[in-house]
Amino acid sequence: MATKSKPAVVHNLPLNQILDGDCIERMNALPAGSVDLIFADPPYNLQLKGDLHRPDNSKVDAVDDHWDQFSSFAAYDKFTREWLAAAKRLLKPNGAIWVIGSYHNIFRVGSALQDQGYWMLNDVVWRKSNPMPNFRGKRLTNAHETLIWASRDEDSKYTFNYEALKELNDGVQMRSDWVLPICTGHERLKDENGDKAHPTQKPESLLHRVLIATTNPGDVVLDPFFGTGTTGAVAKMLGRDFIGIEREEAYRKVAEERISRVRRFDASALEITGSKRAEPRVPFGQVVERGMLRPGEELYSVGSRYSAKVRADGTLVGHEVKGSIHQVGAAYEGAPSCNGWTYWHFKRDGKMIPIDILRQQIRAEMEADLGRPH
């Protein structure tokens, strides 16, 4: 219960500390209307059945911790409504909340927020640049999580640093979808055995954006599911005060140690994120989906030597070959590889036009598009 970097005086709040115990009881013991922002990463209530193995037969290290077990939706809803009510009481009138979740729980959380009179400002999609794939090929890769940003009341004058976020986003408005990598490498905290200290540690980049967007220096940020303390670490860096609540001793210990190592940034030291992006990859299927080429339409190689027909899934069928634009081109040419974008042409008004033109159109739209997060 240490990790102090500043005396706790205002409202008698236990600032920059990690409280132990149950988050609902702890929140109810704090003074009402004293917190500027709450960031919450509650249990997701995953309902996993058996083990899952990768195609190489290695076992996936699943989230099977006791704190993620609920007996029913009703039990999960009860828990959710109780902690959200405690959170609302704690917020200042102009305070706001962020909650992160997946499709297992976020719809329950969102409904509860609305029912309790929170005012939804945005739902934000964290698009993971490196998600875990779907190993059995039975669903889409679960490549995102959802955050809800809501103010305490409909008429709250919430904090939103529009200009700062615009700067973070190369001068255009920040969108509701954020591309950020998951937490790995040195940032990922390990326990004594070298295993991950927490199964669901969030990346600091995510908290960085949340806190820059919706708090000011000196604000009090509370995290009722503190875990290994990402919220506290980023809050300290950015000159915000935090209050953490975490009932697992092991997590608290890791978090305290972590936060003690964090240095507060100079006011001038705010991070610049200006990584150049490679040209975005455009799947040929998008050309078909967007109706730029129709299923059934013929494509031709240079000189019309070969032709193949477009299918609805973005593959080609030719003479005894089918596959991607690259594969069919390579097969015809007897070559090990082939750039289908420059190889294939379509006919318009008697003219042969390379399909790469269509890719360029799509890329132009993507460029024109507002917002290039990250």
Partner DNA sequence: ATAGGTTATGAATCTCGAT
Partner DNA sequence: TATCGAGATTCATAACCTA
> 307-334 burial, b for 16+ CB within 10 Å, e for fewer?
ebebeeebbbebeeeebbbbbbbbbbee
Q: How far is the CB of 214 from DNA (least distance, A)?
A: 13
Identify the residue whose tokens are 């939103």. Answer: 160
Output the CA angle 273-263-234, nearest 5 degrees.
55
Residue 189 interacting with its own copies (CB under 8 A) = no
**Candidate ranges 1-9, 25-33, 196-204, 303-311; the one touching DNA (CB under 7 A):** 196-204
Does 28 sit near its own copies (CB under 8 A)?
A: no
By CB under 7 A, the count of residues binding DNA is: 83
The contact pattern for its own copies, residues 287-326, with x = CB under 8 A and - = no contact, is: -xxxx--xxx------------xxxxxxx-x--x-x-x--
Q: Does 40 bind DNA (CB under 7 A)?
A: no
292 near DNA (CB under 7 A): no
Do residues 20 and 238 make contact, with C-beta atoms less than 8 angstroms apart?
no
Confirm or reject binding of residue 61 to its own copies (CB under 8 A).
no
According to the binding rule CB under 7 A, does residue 83 interact with DNA?
A: no
How many residues touch its own copies (CB under 8 A)? 110
Burial degree of 161 (CB within 10 A; 0-12, 13-18, 19+)? middle
Q: Which does 318 bind (CB under 5 to 8 A by kind): its own copies, DNA, none?
A: none
Q: What are residue 261's phi and psi, to 5 degrees? A: -85, -15
User: Which range of residues in 259-267, 299-307, 322-330, 362-370 is near DNA by CB under 7 A?
Assistant: 322-330
Question: Is residue 47 close enough to count as binding DNA by CB under 7 A?
Answer: yes
Token pair for 216: 């000011």
Nearer to DNA, 188 or 253 (CB): 188
Task: Select the binding partner of residue 182 from its own copies, DNA, none (C-beta < 5 to 8 A, by kind).
Answer: DNA
DSSP SS3 for 129? coil
Q: 181 near 129, Cβ under 8 Å? A: yes
43 binds, among DNA, its own copies, none (CB under 5 to 8 A by kind): DNA
Instruction: Please report whether residue 272 would count as binding its own copies according to CB under 8 A.
Output: yes
Q: Which of 161, 196, 248, 253 binds its own copies (CB under 8 A)?
A: 161
Q: Tokens for 181? A: 């990598």
State the Cα–Cα distance between residues 159 and 91, nearest whole angstrom.
Answer: 13
Each residue 256-275 as x (binds DNA by CB under 7 A) or -, in order, gives -------------------x
DSSP string, 280-314: PP--HHHHHHTTSS-TT-EEE-GGG--EEEE-TTS
Q: Is 79 in the site for DNA (CB under 7 A)?
A: no
Stretch that binds its own copies, among 17-25, 188-196, 333-341, 348-356 (CB under 8 A): 333-341
3-state SS, residue 179: strand
Tell which one of 48, 269, 364, 366 touches DNA (CB under 7 A).
48
- Name which of its own copies, DNA, none residue 8 binds, using a CB cut-off of 5 to 8 Å depending on partner kind: none
- Which of its own copies, DNA, none interacts with 303 (beta carbon under 5 to 8 A by kind)? none
**Residue 69 touching its own copies (CB under 8 A):** no
Q: Name the nearest CA neighbour of 38 among 221, 232, 239.
A: 221
Q: From 132, 210, 122, select the one nearest 164 (Cα to Cα).
A: 210
The answer to the question of residue 369 lying near its own copies (CB under 8 A) is: yes
Q: Among 1, 29, 162, 360, which residue interacts with DNA (rule: CB under 7 A)?
A: 162
Report how far Cα 268 is from the mean position of its chain's Cα atoms.
27
Q: Match 């009860």 to its residue by tokens.
A: 78
Q: How far is the CB of 106 from its own copies (least distance, A)?
A: 7
Q: How many alpha carbons lie under 13 Å from residue 77 in its C-beta half-sphere?
A: 10
